[in-house]
Chains A and B, each alone.
Chain A
Amino acid sequence: MESDVLVVDDSAAIRKILQRVLRQTGMAIRTIHEAGDGQEALELLKANTVHLVLTDINMPKMDGLQLLAALKADAHWRNVPVVMITTEGGEAKVGDAVRLGAAGYVRKPFTADQIKEKLVGILQPALPL
């Protein structure tokens, strides 16, 4: 089974890098959707199914923590793993993400191996590898 992934980051550069990194992981991915902020992500989810969300935290309009809270409050998306990929490394932000139900947390800068290791560790049941 192939899966669909949503990458949310206001930086087109990071979205492009994550596209490449996700393809390099060897996971069976069909489509990688992109959104520039939380609002755009929620709009995109109205018309698409995804099995994994990778999101930045600091974004305009709706940040990654607000997006995470919105997904966990929605019965349809509650069980989709959300991984935060962000420069925010402070304990407060990590704690907020964990409390809201984030499946993982990766700090920028990241390597392809770090992303793969994190996804393998937490998403194996959700995503065929």
Chain B
Amino acid sequence: MNLNLQDFIVNSIDQSTSQVFSTMLGVEVARGAFTLETSAPGSNDGVVSFIGVAGSWAGSGSLSCSPFLACRICSQMLLTETSSVNEEVLDAVAELTNMIIGSVKTDLEAKLGPLGLSIPTVVYGRNFKTKSAGHAEWIVVRFHWDAEELEVKLCLAPHEKNAHPFSHTESQACALEV
């Protein structure tokens, strides 16, 4: 991934996250540092959501936070009091991820062409590890809501078409490539 695209994604994550929090929760989050992560992440505690991105480029978007922050997000978004992680909290985090990564996806479509988005998946637990099957770097942007930290991540790489047993020149149309 070139630096221009990387900067574009960081800015898009920044703007999308700020807008979603401001519009849906009435909260201003403070942007923290951004890093690139290539190694397998360490153990996680808390709430992590994933959403797949597919098209000419493919990868995953992710949002992770503490159980406390997940409950606070749910309470603010749905105007309910929530003190423990339940189905409503996981649903609120999933929808927040859908909106943030969906907005980034829309920005990226101007540069990368049409992209699809999967239904989000949310995991809540202690001492678990996550791993993407690909080798692409994760762009990680941190945000702060008071003392709590939220990470929004995106991992994206050009999608390689599957190899097939027929050889042909680049100028020939291939019936297997649709």
Interface residues, chain A, with chain B CB atoms under 8 Å away: 10-14, 16-17, 20, 58-60, 86-90, 92, 108-111
Contacts and interface: CB of A to CB of B under 8 A. Distances in A.
B99 A109 contact: yes
Nearest to A20: B79
Which applies to chain A's interface (DSSP): helix, strand, loop or mixed?
loop
A87 B117 contact: yes
B73 to A, nearest CB: 10
- Which bucket holds chain B's interface residue count? 20 to 34
B59 interface: no
Nearest to A86: B102
A111 B106 contact: no
Given A13-B77, A16-B78, A17-B77, A87 B91 contact: no
Given A10-B119, A12-B91, A90 B78 contact: no
14 contacts: A11-B91, A12-B87, A14-B95, A58-B98, A60-B119, A87-B106, A88-B102, A88-B117, A90-B106, A90-B114, A90-B115, A109-B19, A109-B103, A110-B23
Interface of B: 19-20, 23-24, 74, 77-79, 87-88, 91-92, 94-95, 98-99, 102-103, 105-106, 109, 114-115, 117, 119
- For the complex of A and B, the 9 pairs showing the least CB-CB separation, nearest first, are A87-B102, A89-B106, A109-B23, A11-B95, A13-B92, A109-B24, A13-B95, A109-B20, A13-B91
A8 to B, nearest CB: 14
Which applies to chain B's interface (DSSP): helix, strand, loop or mixed?
helix
Contacts of B79: 20
A58 B99 contact: no
Given A13-B88, A14-B95, A58-B119, A108 B78 contact: no
A89 B107 CA distance: 9
